Amino acid sequence: MKNKKILVYGLGKTGLSAIDALGDDNTLYVYDDDPSHFDLAEGLPVYDGEAIDFVIKSPSIPLDQGILPELEERGIPVLSDIEVAYRISECENFLAITGTNGKTTVTDLLYHLLIDGGKVAYVGGNIGIGILPIAKRAGKDDILVIECSSFQLETIDEFKPKVAILTNITEDHLDHHKSVDSYRESKKNIYKNQGEGDYLILNIDDPYLAMTGEELESPLVVSTTPIQQDGAYRDGDKLYLVLGGETIYLMDRDEMLLVGDHNVRNALEASLAAYIMGVDVESIRNTLMSYRGKDHRMEYVAAIGGVDAYNDSKGTNPDSTDVALASFSRPVRLLAGGYDKGSDFKELFKRHHEGIAGLYLFGETKSIMEEEAREEGVRNIHVFETMEEATEEALDDSEEGDILLLSPACASWDQFKSYEERGDRFKALILEKRS
């Protein structure tokens, strides 16, 4: 892509990676709703109504925010970084992963499966660094593994991954998408341009994706029960891949380090994609036997006086926290709360009120979560301003054999820059106490 006039809207990770990838060959303008960010743009001109070819926007900026409605009225395309990455890259192997929960684990595990299997692979998008510089560098036969958010997928046009994985779709980000249907359609954009020779992998344990799969022609399906078509599945304690009608034994469940049924699905999705891309089963098995997962996703931190502490700061919605709680049979002291995305927590508390030995709430959502938890029968509820205060009290209350779990069911942006910062702070608190 050369000699284009491009507006980079938003100067976070995505915007700065766009400047890095596109600045040498194109004329760039920048804009941000926070003028203090203009200094990050290294002297590039601030947009002031100039004629441009398209806008590349930061994913979290809603389409009805700032100057975007005016630009769209003028017929100027508004694109995401993954759309532009697809247009500028010579790489023919885009592997794209999305879903409400699990997408980061699947993305990271798939990348490790490919690297361990001897492939030249890169990872980016909604995970790690921006995708644009990577896409520009990748060769034709290399593999790009991209975690895609609903924000990135809502404005794609030509983006066409060779393998698309949908982990699940439940209610989330209604503050951005305004409706569940709009959110679902954004997620489903991941496969809208796929054709012959491409692969779509669906988790049919998810009710909505099971219905979606019935409407599509021959998707690959993943389930924790036996299946009757190509895909991957669990049968008792054994995991299998199925491709071209051939069933291939993968491994026994207890050989994996990852805990929880949700991680069985994650492993099956990533393994199937890796196998499609030519990684042999023995290599896949070896990686699954050593892979411990990403930080902040059901991450074991330490034991303090017989209490095991887990960091699940990536649990940024009720469904993710539901999965985390379901992974334990022991009493759980749950730390929850944060930025208000408009989520409903009633079903979460209804399902787990008996297993929650204590609920320690903090942040912007603390009051609504307290109200809904009481309605659903949760007892022993404590409310604090900060996560640090909640953690101190939860540790004091915990008894030998309890689980101390940070799984907030909310985004972090009310008190932290990211879920990573929140999780790191929690880990530091636990390790300070242990020492």
Domain that holds residue 187: 82-289
The answer to whether residue 219 sits within a structural domain is: yes
State which of 270, 289, 308 marks the end of a domain.
289
Give the pLDDT of residue 171.
64
The annotation status of 100 as a binding-site residue, yes or no, is yes
Q: Mean pLDDT, to the nearest integer, of 90-117?
A: 94
pLDDT in tens, 152-188: 999 999 999 999 999 998 765 555 545 788 888 989 9
The annotation status of 391 as a binding-site residue, yes or no, is no
Q: Mean pLDDT, to the nearest integer, of 186-211?
A: 94
Is pLDDT above 80 for 129?
A: no
Q: Are residues 22 and 125 in the same domain?
A: no
The answer to whether residue 294 sits within a structural domain is: no
State which of 241, 269, 289 marks the end of a domain.
289
Q: Are residues 235 and 371 in the same domain?
A: no
Are 286 and 256 within 8 A, CB to CB?
no
Give the pLDDT of residue 82.
94
Q: Mean pLDDT, to the nearest integer, of 188-202?
A: 95
Is pLDDT above 60 for 84?
A: yes
The answer to whether residue 252 sits within a structural domain is: yes
Give the pLDDT of residue 202.
96
Q: Are residues 104 and 133 in the same domain?
A: yes
The answer to whether residue 160 sits within a structural domain is: yes
The annotation status of 102 as a binding-site residue, yes or no, is yes
CATH number (domain holding residue 92): 3.40.1190.10
Give the pLDDT of residue 225.
94
Give the pLDDT of residue 334.
98
Q: Are residues 108 and 247 in the same domain?
A: yes
Average pLDDT for the chain: 92
Are 43 and 19 within 8 A, CB to CB?
no
Q: How far is the CA of 292 from the CAs of 272, 309, 384, in angstroms?
A: 19, 16, 32
State which of 56, 79, 102 marks the end of a domain.
79
The answer to whether residue 120 sits within a structural domain is: yes
Residue 58 burial (CB < 10 Å; 0-12/13-18/19+)? buried
The annotation status of 231 as a binding-site residue, yes or no, is no
The annotation status of 337 as a binding-site residue, yes or no, is no
Q: Are residues 104 and 146 in the same domain?
A: yes
| pLDDT category of residue 387 using cuts at 50, 70 and 90 | very high
Q: How many domains does the chain have?
A: 3
Give the pLDDT of residue 356.
97
Q: Are residues 71 and 112 in the same domain?
A: no
For residue 146, which of 104, 116, 184 has the smallest C-alpha distance?
104
The answer to whether residue 280 sits within a structural domain is: yes
Q: Are residues 383 and 427 in the same domain?
A: yes
Give the pLDDT of residue 175.
59
Q: How far is the CA of 131 from the CAs of 41, 135, 146, 309, 325, in angstroms?
A: 18, 6, 8, 34, 33
Rg (CA), the chain: 22
The answer to whether residue 159 sits within a structural domain is: yes
Q: How far is the CA of 372 from the CAs of 172, 250, 333, 348, in angstroms?
A: 18, 43, 17, 10
The answer to whether residue 111 sits within a structural domain is: yes
Dist. CA 260–CA 300, nearest whole Å: 13
- Where is average pLDDT lowest: 168-177, 244-253, 264-273? 168-177
Q: Are residues 89 and 68 in the same domain?
A: no
Q: Are residues 128 and 192 in the same domain?
A: yes
Is pLDDT above 60 for 91?
A: yes
Give the pLDDT of residue 36.
86
The annotation status of 225 as a binding-site residue, yes or no, is no
Neighbours of 321 (CB within 10 A): 26
- Which comes out higher in pLDDT, residue 65 or 405? 405
Q: Are residues 150 and 284 in the same domain?
A: yes
Map residue 359 onto helix, strand or coil: strand
Dist. CA 253–CA 251, nearest whole Å: 6
CATH number (domain holding residue 338): 3.90.190.20
The annotation status of 66 as a binding-site residue, yes or no, is no
| pLDDT category of residue 383 using cuts at 50, 70 and 90 | very high
Q: Are residues 124 and 202 in the same domain?
A: yes
Name the β-bridge partners of 97: 147, 165
Q: Are residues 47 and 86 in the same domain?
A: no
CATH number (domain holding residue 14): 3.40.50.720
